[in-house]
Structure 1
């Protein structure tokens, strides 16, 4: 059998925002991980540690979500603005963090981080313990260009120009830590908050630049996730619709059934469990996409001249990644190592997100630094880049490319395949998810191509991870295999490896 790559068999355009990231006041994700303050002995730029800042600039995440997560629903934004010495001290109980919060990293620090690394910000408002007025003031502070008290306050805090934050999440995981709400309870609150958002336009005929994101389901619960989406859209269909542009579902690849399984100590069974677990997201995406589209059919036809019918809501994944059992007992909270098993699932998850680019518009890895499926780990002055970072860097050519319709898995070798095209360049991913067996994958193109380059991420031992003593144990490298121009190629891929191939159509 062969894998056939046909440039005419397309799915859609891959939004760069499918490669988004997420940071939260959880463990040492922000403090020590990103922010150390200007007076720190750790080299920094305006308080951001230089080593992490440099790798995030290279990563150039298209979107960055903050302040949560669960923390969003206890966070009051005014605690984190103004002179840092005057900011209140609070306490963070979020997911076992259990530490005092000095509020040294707030709205301006986050938004200026986004400016430094080229990320578009996504702010989650405080729905559970906050108020509509608090949300309005926060949005005005961030976005108001006109001369008002809040725009003046922003200017006094060092940023005269508006930040123009587009993405605003209204509530986070409201079915659990965000309020244990029912769909009806949530939609009642959502209608009020979303309808109260400032529009930042100068005419009633202008389209508001604000993109409102609703809290979607916990997709780790199959029955509840279906019911939640059905109920949300049933409530949404009642009378007139508030602004709603995105629907944010969350998915974690839970690896918690075996307490003995850790990120770096696992069996063949544990390897297979985590690999197969991440692939469940594909069926979930397809199910939720169908539920959203079905729900939209019940939206009534408007009666008034000024009203428009809600016909589309983007499906978003605000949090995804591997969550191993050992993270529950970790200090700092939810910190875990990243081995080739995690890198493989990160690659497979990005593949399925890209393959479903016609259904998913944005997604955020949870989380960027020191928490769960991290790209970066820090310890005092030391920093290490995990294999997950390499995966995201290797996959950058897919951004804004056209996803090609190829089989998810090669039936002969069992390797996983993804391909996209941008102009006359085709990028192919071959992920060998076998823990111990190398594979040969035969690929046939519709036209003659030249193999322009090949990068690979692998390890002789799939349990290996990058440590502070050995920070480059796993690192992507250039493969120097030579190929003649043609239509058919055989690629030999090692066990537990990710290979990204660039081909030019002749």
Structure 2
């Protein structure tokens, strides 16, 4: 029997704006994300522009992705940007020690990345090298990319074929400095972050939004050390404008780091553990926000989750350092409930970047060298949710819902929802996380009359279903059975499904 749920939505009570940057992306020199994913080279038989694969660009443009983080990840702290500019034949190679111990030829560098961002229509998010680099190196990268007029870096950029500077708003000050980015103590990194940020300067009208490398998961002490570096507890002063945001990373790993489990072969307990872990991101965000509120009650400093997603064991027969995994309906539900959480915290959480965009971890797209391109189930969640970009969040209350599922002493909510309004329309996202039972849902819509409701549904025959180049098992379809109800609207969601309902407001 289906479980009846009533979701109260206050359409006339505006909350914080859901920044489009919460739907950001991440591309690291890791496995086949860059080479064979975004970049195939100018000599490839596949349609490309300057070596950038055009079917990948077309698929991602359909998502209206807002920003792209590059070159890492752990790779960022061993990447020296001057090795990736100038004629390709003269660029020195290096060994990618983090990811597969393979040779990196530096053919995809700064100019190629900026060309990719221009093709995608996104804001670049450049992650600088703090771990093995220097303050001068990062400062000169900012100058090379963003300065006009005349200077040594401007002359070098022009010699490499780019006359005008680019707009590059987002800059990461290192990555995972508690681990692969240097194994630093929080206080030691906080001092470095202040120093690097000081010498990363605004040039012309390009204003930098500098993001300090933050915590792993719920390490609140790391966040507090960074807040102490720019503010004081209870002093009433605004934080020093040295860096503008603090990041953290949160991956959904249902097993252990040594045995994470398979992406498409799992039982119901594995499914429940995954969703429980994914839902816990709400607690983690609340924890970081509380620490930041103590030092920054006006919320001037942003919180950035610039790596998130599922992490499974690699697919059999693939390089373990390339982190290639399939992407199932379960992954789509991890994404949909993450976005509901992000929307609730949009007053503090200003950016999020899924890891990663192509061929790595929870990817949007899977490609092969013969021209095959797969839109993953997660891709469709991003596409179905894109009207939330820069919309105004509105309160959602699950006043009647199924009893939580209990496993290993932890609880899992079986329904998740969020809503926003923009341009006289509302978008409501609802996930039935129950893997076995449908859910009857009543949307109790308050504060506005509605018109022209329409729904879309993403589901599959089982949570393990995934797409391949020859079989599309998971793709959006119209949501049938959407009916008027005295409170608003009524519909039934199949097990393990995600739906969006759009409607006009009167």
Determine the C-alpha separation between the residues in 2 that align with 1:243 and 1:287: 23
> Structure 1 pair 439/480, CA: closer, same or farther in 2 (3 Å)?
closer
Preserved contact between residue 171 and residue 209 of structure 2 (Cα < 8 Å): yes
Pairing of 1:341-352 with structure 2 (within 5 A): 341-352=330-341
Preserved contact between residue 449 and residue 485 of structure 1 (Cα < 8 Å): no
Check if 1:199 corresponds to 2:188: no
Preserved contact between residue 251 and residue 281 of structure 1 (Cα < 8 Å): yes
Taking structure 2 as the reference length, the TM-score comes to 0.91
Determine the C-alpha separation between the residues in 1 that align with 2:10 and 2:135: 51
Structure-2 residue corresponding to 1:459: 460
Determine the C-alpha separation between the residues in 1 that align with 2:220 and 2:485: 49
Taking structure 1 as the reference length, the TM-score comes to 0.91
Check if 1:367 corresponds to 2:356: yes
Structure-2 residue corresponding to 1:449: 450
Structure 2 spans left out of the alignment, 5+ residues: 404-413
Check if 1:8 corresponds to 2:12: yes
> Structure 1 pair 25/487, CA: closer, same or farther in 2 (3 Å)?
same
Check if 1:214 corresponds to 2:243: no
Determine the C-alpha separation between the residues in 2 that align with 1:102 and 1:229: 36
Preserved contact between residue 369 and residue 376 of structure 1 (Cα < 8 Å): yes
Structure-1 residue corresponding to 2:407: none
Determine the C-alpha separation between the residues in 2 that align with 1:448 and 1:196: 53
SS in 2 for 1:265: coil
Q: Which moved more, 1:242-251 or 1:14-23?
A: 242-251
Determine the C-alpha separation between the residues in 1 that align with 2:169 and 2:476: 34
Q: Measure how far apart 1:423 and its partner are.
A: 3.3
Pairing of 1:61-72 with structure 2 (within 5 A): 61-72=65-76
Structure-1 residue corresponding to 2:410: none
Check if 1:21 corresponds to 2:20: no
Determine the C-alpha separation between the residues in 2 that align with 1:213 and 1:130: 17
Q: Which moved more, 1:16-25 or 1:481-490?
A: 481-490
Preserved contact between residue 427 and residue 501 of structure 1 (Cα < 8 Å): yes
Output one character per residue of 1:198-223: Cα deviation in whole Å (capped at 9) or x when no partner: 22149xxxxx711111011111xx4x
Structure-2 residue corresponding to 1:75: 79
Preserved contact between residue 481 and residue 492 of structure 2 (Cα < 8 Å): no
SS in 2 for 1:10: coil
- Select which of 395, 400, 409 maps to 1:405: 395
Preserved contact between residue 217 and residue 249 of structure 1 (Cα < 8 Å): yes
Preserved contact between residue 466 and residue 473 of structure 1 (Cα < 8 Å): yes
- Select which of 95, 119, 131 maps to 2:122: 119
Check if 1:320 corresponds to 2:275: no
Structure-2 residue corresponding to 1:232: 226
Q: Which moved more, 1:418-427 or 1:11-20?
A: 418-427
> Structure 1 pair 329/75, CA: closer, same or farther in 2 (3 Å)?
farther
Determine the C-alpha separation between the residues in 2 that align with 1:401 and 1:450: 19
Determine the C-alpha separation between the residues in 2 that align with 1:70 and 1:49: 24
Structure-1 residue corresponding to 2:100: 97
Q: Measure how far apart 1:329 and its partner are.
A: 8.2
Preserved contact between residue 136 and residue 197 of structure 1 (Cα < 8 Å): yes
Determine the C-alpha separation between the residues in 2 that align with 1:231 and 1:149: 36
Superposition CA RMSD, Å? 2.2
Preserved contact between residue 191 and residue 242 of structure 1 (Cα < 8 Å): no
Check if 1:166 corresponds to 2:166: no
Determine the C-alpha separation between the residues in 2 that align with 1:402 and 1:260: 37
Q: Measure how far apart 1:330 and its partner are.
A: 4.2
Q: Measure how far apart 1:335 and its partner are.
A: 0.8
Preserved contact between residue 259 and residue 326 of structure 1 (Cα < 8 Å): no
SS in 2 for 1:436: coil
Determine the C-alpha separation between the residues in 1 that align with 2:331 and 2:118: 29
SS in 1 for 2:261: coil
Check if 1:46 corresponds to 2:50: yes
Q: Measure how far apart 1:139 and its partner are.
A: 0.8
Preserved contact between residue 409 and residue 415 of structure 1 (Cα < 8 Å): no
Determine the C-alpha separation between the residues in 2 that align with 1:175 and 1:365: 20
Q: Which moved more, 1:249-258 or 1:378-387?
A: 249-258
> Structure 1 pair 353/486, CA: closer, same or farther in 2 (3 Å)?
same
Determine the C-alpha separation between the residues in 1 that align with 2:418 and 2:94: 47
Equivalent residues, number: 483
